A and B are shown apart, each in its own frame.
Chain A
């Protein structure tokens, strides 16, 4: 028998800061933890530290890309200085409304991932592919055929055998789906 679920509403005072630490869907004020979503209360009891108190909704659909998140996007236009992309997936969950992002030319590199700000004066998310697992996943050659990666910076078209430069991603096996 599942234990009875406790539902809470935004603004409901959950507990003291001494009895738990705030998780997602909560905020703290005056030494108390308040709920900020209308959903079920989840207490994850840790071994040594305080239990983490968070409020979960069944459909976690309003994900916004956050700093440090891995996203899957589709290139919509290319310039000599940057490429504009549509952000489609954050992690493994698809987004309902796609967001726009920019990949600057200097951010396409092999190593040295630095902090990408959410954009100071621009309205686009800035992205970088500066890690081994990040980069191009699917590409089509000029003849329209899907290309095969040869090395970390080249992809070859199986039909015309022309090689093109792309920064290829080494996708971790657990993310690959057949």
Chain B
């Protein structure tokens, strides 16, 4: 057949046009700004990992696994000064390596696995929030690896990943000072800034500003804070942090029950 170079070739793949339209008529329904979605948490579900946790909050599903402690071959680190009270010097403390990954099917459009800078930023935020909670001084020269996989993004993904990572670390038997609970917030664009606790994906997409707070409930210390968006009055950010910390305290009993149930399951499986 003679070539059809007179015909204009169409694109190789075709996509539905709805992908390119913004859903402007989908407005998030009005709701109580302090409502938390019901959370399902389960620890100790992966048999191969040292510790694992699965957390579901509304549409957000996160799976986290912990492995280690493994010995780090780090010979170049010089001996740091010993801390007061005979603590292990800085060079001998353990390290926490966090990894945050989005599954390709986690959002509306397929994302290729190497996620780029956003995932690296979230992994760094995970590490900064988990470090104050883990007793790294008890694992000298060892490395703990935490990997979080986001199966579905339904809003406040980083908060869910933080909570799941803390449960997984406790499930792995890593010594910790306290658990870490994460909570997400977002503020819709508009003149009156009302912060919404635990936003859904729709609310997050339409938000002018977002914030994730991580709290250690018993010690009552903030472990991590990551926020971005339009600047507003400082009081509104302070109000948001307070709301987030309240939300974290409300979530804490769920994690307690989850870990106790997992410990009981482990105790029943291996009779002493």
Residues of chain A having any CB pair with chain B under 8 Å? 5, 7, 9-13, 25, 27, 29, 34, 36-40, 57-59, 61-62, 64, 97, 99-100, 118-123
Contact = CB atoms under 8 A, between A and B. Distances in A.
B267 A5 contact: yes
Chain A binding surface SS class = loop
B266 to A, nearest CB: 6
A120 B72 contact: no
A37 B138 CA distance: 12
A10 B78 contact: no
Contacts, number: 96
A38 B74 CA distance: 30
Contact of A7 (B70, B79, B92, B264): B264
8 pairs of A and B residues whose beta carbons are closest in the complex: A11-B178, A10-B176, A120-B79, A11-B218, A38-B170, A7-B263, A36-B175, A9-B259
Contacts of A118: 88, 92, 140-141
Interface of B: 69-75, 77-79, 88, 91-92, 133, 135, 138-142, 170-171, 173-179, 216-219, 255-256, 259-260, 262-264, 266-267, 270, 272
Contacts of B74: 123
B170 A9 contact: yes
B272 to A, nearest CB: 7
Given A37-B175, A123-B72, A123-B74, A10 B260 contact: no
Contacts of A29: 219
A58 B133 CA distance: 22
Nearest to B72: A123
Contacts of A39: 173, 263
